[in-house]
C-alpha cells in the first residue's frame, strides 16, 4: 500500500535527520575528529533522540487530524441533522432547548484540541485513536511494534525530565530507531487508509 502524503513528508524529515546524524558521527570518528563533536557526543545523541520523538508526535497529530477532517467532510456531504444524533445518544433524557441546533451534524474538532491527547507513547496513541473510532490494537503489526516505540518514548522522557545522560545510545542506535519509527508510522498510516 502507498503511504499518504502526510506519512511521506515525515519519512523525508526523518531521513533528513538521519543524514545529519551520519554527518555528525563521521565528524566524531574521523581520523582527525573535530574536538567540538568529540566533546559533545552525548549532547548530540540526546538531541537527536528527542528530535526523533518530536517528529513522531508531530506525525501523530497531523495524521489523526487528517483522519478527523476526512470524517468531517463525509458528514458535510451526508447532511445528518444534529438534533437527531443528539437525541439518539440521549433517548432517556429530556433535551433542553439550548442543546438543540437546527443544523447539520459537525464534529467541531480543531487541531489544537488534539494537543492534550498527543504523545509518542503508543498507549496514549491507542487511547486517542479509540476516541476517533480506530482500533489500533486489532492490528498485529502495531501490537508487535508498540513496545519498541514505547521504550524510545520512555528514554526521551528520562532525558527531558531526569537529565538522563543517554550514554547507552549511539548514533547508530538512533539511525536504527529512525527505521523503527518510520515502520511504526507506516503501520498507523496504513490502518487509517483502510479504515
The alpha carbon torsion through 56, 61, 64, 65 (nearest 10 deg) reads -150
| pLDDT at position 48 | 97
Q: How far apart are CA 113 and CA 134, in angstroms?
A: 18
Q: Which of 37-41, 65-69, 109-113, 157-161 has the lowest mean pLDDT?
A: 37-41
pTM over 0.85: yes
| pLDDT at position 26 | 92
Is the pLDDT assigned to residue 195 strictly greater than 80?
Answer: no
Residue of 147, 148, 150, 177 whose CA lies nearest to 48: 177
pLDDT confidence band for 1 (50 / 70 / 90): low
Q: How far apart are CA 190 and CA 195, in angstroms?
A: 9
Q: How far apart are CA 68 and CA 17, in angstroms?
A: 28
| pLDDT at position 103 | 93
Amino acid at each position: 500500500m502507498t503511504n499518504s502524503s502526510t506519512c511521506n513528508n515525515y519519512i523525508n524529515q526523518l531521513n533528513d535527520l538521519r543524514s545529519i546524524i551520519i554527518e555528525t558521527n563521521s565528524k566524531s570518528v574521523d581520523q582527525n575528529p573535530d574536538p567540538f563533536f568529540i566533546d559533545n557526543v552525548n549532547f548530540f545523541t540526546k538531541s537527536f533522540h528527542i528530535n526523533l520523538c518530536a517528529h513522531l508526535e508531530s506525525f501523530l497529530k497531523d495524521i489523526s487530524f487528517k483522519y478527523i477532517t476526512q470524517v468531517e467532510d463525509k458528514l458535510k456531504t451526508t447532511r445528518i441533522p444534529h438534533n437527531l444524533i443528539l437525541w439518539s445518544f440521549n433517548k432517556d433524557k429530556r433535551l433542553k432547548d439550548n442543546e438543540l441546533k437546527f443544523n447539520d451534524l459537525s464534529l467541531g474538532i480543531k487541531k489544537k484540541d488534539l494537543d492534550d491527547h498527543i504523545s509518542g507513547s503508543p498507549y496514549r496513541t491507542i487511547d486517542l485513536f479509540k476516541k476517533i473510532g480506530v482500533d489500533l490494537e486489532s492490528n498485529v503489526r502495531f501490537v508487535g511494534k508498540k513496545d519498541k516505540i514505547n521504550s524510545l518514548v520512555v528514554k526521551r522522557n528520562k532525558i527531558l525530565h531526569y537529565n538522563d545522560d543517554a550514554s547507552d545510545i549511539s548514533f547508530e542506535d538512533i539511525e536504527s530507531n529512525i527505521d523503527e519509527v518510520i515502520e511504526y508510522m507506516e503501520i498507523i498510516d496504513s490502518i487509517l487508509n483502510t479504515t
